[in-house]
Amino acid sequence: SRRCQRRSIGCQISRENLHRRNTECEVYDDGTNTFFWRAHTVTVLFILTCALVYVTLLEETPQDTAYNTKRGIVASILVFLCFGVTQAKDGPFTRPHPAYWRFWLCVTVVYELFLIFILFQTVHDGRQFMKYIDPKLGVPLPERDYGGNCLIYDPGNTTDPFHNIWDKMDGFVPAHFLGWYIKTLMIRDWWMCMIISVMFEFLEYSLEHQLPNFSECWWDHWIMDVLVCNGLGIYCGMKTLAWLSMKPYQWQGLWNIPTYKGKIKRIAFQFTPYSWVKFEWKPASNLRRWLAVLGIIFMFLLAELNTFYLKFVLWMPPEHYLVLLRLVFFVNVGGVAMREIYDFMDDPCIGLKLGQQAWLVAAITVTEFLIVVKYDPNTIMLPIPFFITQCWLLGILLIFIWTLWRFFIRDITLRYKETRRRKQEVSADRERPQGNGSTATPSGRSKLNGSSETLRQRKT
């Protein structure tokens, strides 16, 4: 009963905090519920049934087994997406429309099932299965080496001495900037973004003996990636976060706005958040939040590595549309997952259950890594150079020592000092004089003697 009482009190406080966090950005909504916002469950069911009746009764089934298999799988996925968009549980985001986020939740389920299917295949069958998606796949591709000549100014090339810089200016440069801009909007913390950015460069240094495209020039690592692309993306992301936190959120029905300029502005703002919640991770506040922040950083880095290792083991070229689709997928589901993780850490009521999108994203990240381990264990098991291993062990040891000191030794020391201070206060209270300004006698006999002396004086 005490546990339930504490939980109810915590949930009540949590609701007040959640209401405060959601309303401190001044949300005004006139409550307009138009055709755009209504759940069209019956309409979607009717259209889906008509499509299936047409395929069954009016369309002649081709005799191509491979084509029928592909079409059957696609039809099954579309039916599941129609069900999920109309019936799935809503997440924390409502703009531009709740159905949009329900759609990506269902896509997350489909992608995880696809990864599970690939995981249970043999290496040869799994790679050849990719040909059903694109016949050009299933062929081993050489990885590009970004190292080589690392001179910023090459005096041997009289035509273009800065050719090394221009060679690195490919499509991945704006992709780096845009990626870190979006990641900043997901994480909403400058320190965490910078730590993940720098840590990934260290991972590239550590794993360049496994994947050739991790081998880059020093200025490509620290100047082009960390400072220019990543740093500029993080800076622009933080500026956008500052604007979103100060922006007034006034929602009015489109037909209630009199001017065309106001209608266009309202349509544009439909793609901004309904309300704003500032993330305060506070990793050093307690052990649970510290371990959660470490877990977030670890999963982010693992998802980044999966991007390179997956295309390596599944023989997909970097410019293939499937690689781009995976990045678009994580852009749409990552923000929801981070919000659910933050609520899981910050709210004692929501914290009893991890959000559905966060659960699926974590499962996808782990499944992708297991596919990499199964499909090419020789590459994964290549021994890391000894000095790199020493650096990582030293870093892990420092994190462990700091965690031990911050959340165990320091707390025990502070608790001991607090207990000692309270004991000293109690002993001081006992020795403090009692009564209305009169001096306390040291013992009962002296008090009695004092009373008898007073009595003698009165008699005389």
pLDDT for res 451: 45
CA 300/CA 304 separation, integer angstroms: 6
From residue 257, give the alpha-carbon distance in Å to each of 184, 262, 264, 268, 371: 33, 6, 10, 14, 53
Q: What is the pLDDT of residues 289-323, one digit of tens each?
A: 999 999 999 999 999 999 999 999 999 988 899 99
Per-residue pLDDT at 121 = 94
Contact 14, 348 (CB under 8 A): yes
**Total residue length of the chain:** 460
**Cα–Cα distance for residue pair 190/195, rounded to 1 Å:** 9
Q: What residues of the chain score a pLDDT lower than 50? A: 1-10, 12-24, 437-460
What's the confidence (pLDDT) of residue 249? Answer: 81
Angle at 376 between CA 373 and CA 380, to 5 degrees: 65
Q: State residue 161's pLDDT score.
A: 61
452 class by beta-carbon count within 10 Å (0-12 exposed, 13-18 middle, 19+ buried) = exposed
CA-CA-CA-CA torsion sign (270, 274, 275, 279): negative
* Residue from 312, 450, 332 nearest 375 by CA: 312
Q: In the prediction, which pLDDT does 449 show?
A: 47
Contact 250, 28 (CB under 8 A): yes
With a CB cutoff of 8 Å and minimum separation 6, the contacts of 270 are 95, 96
Instruction: Domain ranges for the chain, please list them.
Output: 38-382, 383-423
Residue 444: predicted pLDDT: 46
Predicted local distance difference test score (pLDDT) of residue 5: 45
Give the pLDDT confidence score for residue 410 in this predicted structure: 85
What SS3 class is residue 17? Answer: helix
